Structure 1
Amino acid sequence: MVSLRYATPALLLLLSGCVVGPDHVPPEMALPGKFSEGGKKSIGDVATTAWWTAYNDRKLDSLVQTGLSQNLTIQQAIERINSASANVTIAGAGALPALDVGASHTISGQTGELRDQPNTRNTSAGQLSLSWLLDLFGLYKRSKESALASLDSAYAGADIAKLSYIQDLVSTYIDLRFYQQRLALSKANLKSRQETYDLTKFQLDAGAASRLDVVQAEGLVQSTLAEIPGLETNIRVSAHHIATLVGQPAGTMVDELMRGSGQPTFRGGIKSGIPADLIRNRPDIRQAERNLAAATAQIGVAEAQLYPSISLSGSISPSYINQRGIHGGLSAWSFGPTLNLPILDGGRLRANVDVSKSDAAASYLAWKQTVLTAVEQVENALSAVRRDAQTVDALRAQVRTTQETLELSTASYKDGASSLLDVLDAQRQVSLAQASLAAAVQQMAKDYAALNIATGGGFAPGGKTTGPGPVKVTKGS
């Protein structure tokens, strides 16, 4: 007979079970110590950095804050967090005992002409059922582990949605102000070209200009008029998209956004940090790592199904019968273990393990690809933003030069020392230079936004997060 002293620990060990399958190990990847055009200093956690305030545009600041609470894509991502949280409860529920209670009351009888026929019978019954699947090999433990990792992934997904919203909003706002600047330039050029056209008609009447000169001047006026409707359309399209981003009907913000400042230009330093910062700061990298953790836990789930399972079940069914001449109660009960041993399944369970391993391998490759893509995005944005100022300075100098050329050409034409063709060509050059400058200012503002988005900054301005902080991940040297 086995001593109770030794049987009790053995029983507890059996009930606690073991956990099969690999444990998740945070992935590692060797990264350079710095970006090719960056410094060697870490920028730390940039989640709360409101980098768009560097544009010094209060309207933009207000739109960002409004949309973070009203954007529908962000709200959908938060609902996915609620769903993932419920899945954690579902995954862990299987390892707990299940208790069901039921009750019933029935009335039965017979009709007919037999003498001394019994009257109706009243039967009251109840049932209490208990079942418990012993998690001997960690099936439910791994399931809950996978669900928790998926919950972390959902939190990271909400942060990704916030970053995507900020990038979309800031980019669209920059486009809106660019089109407004282009419209203002076109209207100013139209006024200048109209004056040239009027002057040419006057000189034609005086015999100092040809009909060809008048037609050429008029053609430049018409080409400028043709630009304006397209620019006005682009302004309204940008305003419509901004309204949609902040959860408003498309046409409700047009008038409000038409009253705006000039093109956004950032005032502040350029900080990229080091590649290792991306592991902590980029929510898409954190999401990929959590997806890998969930996939790794699923290997344990699949492997646990290869082993036997034991379930304990029992039930008690008391009943009471009341009938003329008969009354009293009965109680039926049962209790016992059930062993389920998979033997022949056509290789299905083993194939499930192979599928889970392949999914985990694919998740690791996805994590690695996400890291490399993040590094590339920072490198590209850093290269662009460091050179944008040079382009803007050169184009500003070109605008000044072309404007001076136009002034000299106009004065010379009025004095009869040059042809109208020189004036028209100078006007075209001014228009092209101004448009190029506006586009360069637009691109510089967008590149600054792209750099901050690429480093993972700004999805929790003011410290307001949707859930747990970034997952700690081991990084390669």
Structure 2
Amino acid sequence: MLLRRIASVPLLMVFLSGCVVGPDYVAPTAALPDKFSEGSSQPVGDVTDVAWWSAFNDPLLTGYVQQGMVQNLSVLQALERIVQAETNVISATAGAYPQVNLNGSDTVGASGGDGASAQSRKITNTFGGSVPVSWVLDLFGLYARSGEAALDQLDAAYASADVAKLTLISQLIDAYIAARLYQERLAIARSNLNSRRETLRLTQFQLDAGAASRLDVVQSEGLVNAQLSTIPQLEADYRKQVYALSTLMGLPAATLIDQMNKVKPIPVAKARLASGVPADLIRNRPDIRGAERNLAAATANIGVAEAQLYPSISLGGTIKASVSGSSLGNAGMSSWSFGPTLNLPIFDGGALRANVTSSESQAREAYLAWKQTVLNAVQEVESALAQVTRDGRTVASLRATVASYRDALSLSTSSYKDGAISLLDVLDAQRAVSDAEANLANAIAQQASDFVALNVAIGGGYAAQ
């Protein structure tokens, strides 16, 4: 791709590269720490082609990512903007070439007095043509800098396409994780519903035996209905995520519903965490690369504005020929002209100088935008590291909590059957188990999402095949 882009640069730009005005571009640098605060000092190298989502060991998810990279509409739009940027390179440099046009005409006429017969009238048919030629001499690099800026914008368009791919990967996998989370939450809700129905049945039995009150039965019925009320919203949330998955893959909503209805657990990544070092971000993050290319284009545009301050010379000429045929004979005529034209800006009210000042300001703004992008990238990695390195402890604690509350529920149910405790103690134990299981499912999904966030933050995977 690089060779193709280099080949598209007009040879004239090379010839005139020694007489361009404006600053030559120098890549910016940023003072970055040697390592992230909670990361290692080991670089990760090029991670742009690493399919890190394979750590979830979920072939269905892997297939969705591959399909989305090909069909996602935002990615396809970004690819079309690359085509537009390629044509802009041609448009920006076309003025450096000689411009040749061809004009032609054919005119038929007649002459004669009002009383002249048709035989005595003079019929004339005139064929004419001209070839105007013009060539602007790019003495101060107007078109050279324009071509340079257009090429930089082309590189930025490629970077924008990579940003679109990275965004797709993040959104698609997060939607998949959320869909599996809601499936798990639905399974928990239905299990709790069965448990509460069993408690209601037991309470009704106790009432019939005179060991429970009507209040106990009503409380049990209320918890059954409360649990029933949570299921429709969970079902709707699950379907929303599946619909989002379909759209991200460029498919009509609900296309994947039957396939996703085959319940699978929340994805869990089986991989070692690797954040690399801050310097890796300059190479791997497409948004940083795009911001740097925008800075390069803004720097080249300073040269475009400065070139307009200087005189320009254009060479122009025209070759004309005409042939006239009539009833009296034929005649021909040709002519040509050629000469230079000097355009010297003398007074423009300060407009050209203002353009230079504006271009310089835009370049400074582009530099600040690049620096901000770098700092934001470092912050995203730091935040993702802070979260993902602690998720494991959260999940482990919640697993222990669920186990303890389940034991407590089992003991309280047995004690209630023996009449040792009240129904309220059983209901409290059920609520504790329900909340702990939901919190555990949320924590497992959060751990998976934080793994995604870390790999996206370091710029991984958008070039994976």
TM range (shorter): over 0.9
Structure 2-normalised TM-score?
Answer: 0.95
Using the alignment, how far apart are the partners of 1:234 and 1:409 within structure 2? 33
Deviation at 1:16, TM superposition (A): 7.7
Tell me the SS of whatever aligns to 2:122: coil
Deviation at 1:325, TM superposition (A): 2.6
For residue 272 of structure 1, what is the amino acid of its counterpart?
Answer: S
Is 1:417 aligned with 2:431?
no
Q: Deviations over 1:40-86 (max 9, x none)?
A: 11101101100111111111001000010000000000000000000
Counterpart of 2:116 in structure 1 is 114
Q: What are the residue-to-residue correspondences of 1:412-451 with 2, within 5 Å? A: 412-451=415-454
Using the alignment, how far apart are the partners of 1:107 and 1:124 within structure 2? 9
C-alpha contact (below 8 Å) 1:288/1:367 kept by paired residues? yes
Q: What are the residue-to-residue correspondences of 1:319-338 with 2, within 5 Å? A: 319-338=322-341
Deviation at 1:106, TM superposition (A): 1.6
C-alpha contact (below 8 Å) 1:15/1:134 kept by paired residues? no
Q: Deviations over 1:414-443 (max 9, x none)?
A: 001111111000000000100000010010
For residue 341 of structure 2, what is the amino acid of its counterpart?
Answer: T
For residue 231 of structure 2, what is the amino acid of its counterpart?
Answer: I
Q: What are the residue-to-residue correspondences of 1:254-269 with 2, within 5 Å? A: 254-269=257-272
Tell me the SS of whatever aligns to 1:461: coil
Using the alignment, how far apart are the partners of 1:445 and 1:154 within structure 2? 31
Tell me the SS of whatever aligns to 1:229: helix
Tell me the SS of whatever aligns to 1:329: strand
Counterpart of 1:93 in structure 2 is 94
For residue 80 of structure 2, what is the amino acid of its counterpart?
Answer: E
Is 1:277 aligned with 2:313?
no
Structure 1-normalised TM-score?
Answer: 0.93
Using the alignment, how far apart are the partners of 1:33 and 1:120 within structure 2? 90
Q: What are the residue-to-residue correspondences of 1:33-112 with 2, within 5 Å? A: 33-110=34-111, 112=114
Tell me the SS of whatever aligns to 2:19: coil
Tell me the SS of whatever aligns to 1:247: coil
For residue 205 of structure 2, what is the amino acid of its counterpart?
Answer: F
C-alpha contact (below 8 Å) 1:150/1:290 kept by paired residues? yes
C-alpha contact (below 8 Å) 2:122/2:328 kept by paired residues? no
C-alpha contact (below 8 Å) 1:17/1:135 kept by paired residues? no
Using the alignment, how far apart are the partners of 2:221 and 2:234 within structure 1? 21
Is 1:214 aligned with 2:205?
no
Using the alignment, how far apart are the partners of 1:262 and 1:110 within structure 2? 95
For residue 62 of structure 1, what is the amino acid of its counterpart?
Answer: G
Unaligned runs of 5+ in 2: 1-14
Using the alignment, how far apart are the partners of 2:200 and 2:427 within structure 1? 10
Q: What are the residue-to-residue correspondences of 1:364-383 with 2, within 5 Å? A: 364-383=367-386
For residue 157 of structure 1, what is the amino acid of its counterpart?
Answer: S
Counterpart of 1:475 in structure 2 is none
C-alpha contact (below 8 Å) 2:17/2:141 kept by paired residues? no
For residue 99 of structure 1, what is the amino acid of its counterpart?
Answer: V
Is 1:293 aligned with 2:307?
no
Tell me the SS of whatever aligns to 2:324: strand
For residue 336 of structure 2, what is the amino acid of its counterpart?
Answer: W
RMSD over aligned Cα atoms? 1.2
Using the alignment, how far apart are the partners of 2:75 and 2:306 within structure 1? 37
Using the alignment, how far apart are the partners of 2:47 and 2:111 within structure 1? 81
Deviation at 1:119, TM superposition (A): 2.3
Using the alignment, how far apart are the partners of 1:72 and 1:16 within structure 2? 40
For residue 115 of structure 2, what is the amino acid of its counterpart?
Answer: E
Using the alignment, how far apart are the partners of 1:455 and 1:335 within structure 2? 60
Counterpart of 2:317 in structure 1 is 314
Q: 2:174 aligns with which of 171, 174, 183?
A: 171
Counterpart of 2:308 in structure 1 is 305
C-alpha contact (below 8 Å) 1:104/1:124 kept by paired residues? yes
Deviation at 1:322, TM superposition (A): 1.1
C-alpha contact (below 8 Å) 1:19/1:138 kept by paired residues? yes
Using the alignment, how far apart are the partners of 1:254 and 1:190 within structure 2? 24
The percent identity for this pair of structures is 57
Deviation at 1:102, TM superposition (A): 2.1
For residue 371 of structure 2, what is the amino acid of its counterpart?
Answer: K
Using the alignment, how far apart are the partners of 1:360 and 1:15 within structure 2? 23
Unaligned runs of 5+ in 1: 1-13, 463-477
For residue 427 of structure 1, what is the amino acid of its counterpart?
Answer: Q
Deviation at 1:261, TM superposition (A): 1.1
Is 1:229 aligned with 2:232?
yes
Deviation at 1:124, TM superposition (A): 1.1
Using the alignment, how far apart are the partners of 1:252 and 1:54 within structure 2? 26
Q: How many residues of Structure 1 are paired with residues of Structure 2 in the alignment? A: 449
Using the alignment, how far apart are the partners of 2:286 and 2:18 within structure 1? 36
Is 1:343 aligned with 2:346?
yes
Counterpart of 1:141 in structure 2 is 144
C-alpha contact (below 8 Å) 1:320/1:328 kept by paired residues? yes
For residue 116 of structure 2, what is the amino acid of its counterpart?
Answer: L
Using the alignment, how far apart are the partners of 2:457 and 2:245 within structure 1? 22
Using the alignment, how far apart are the partners of 1:441 and 1:258 within structure 2? 20
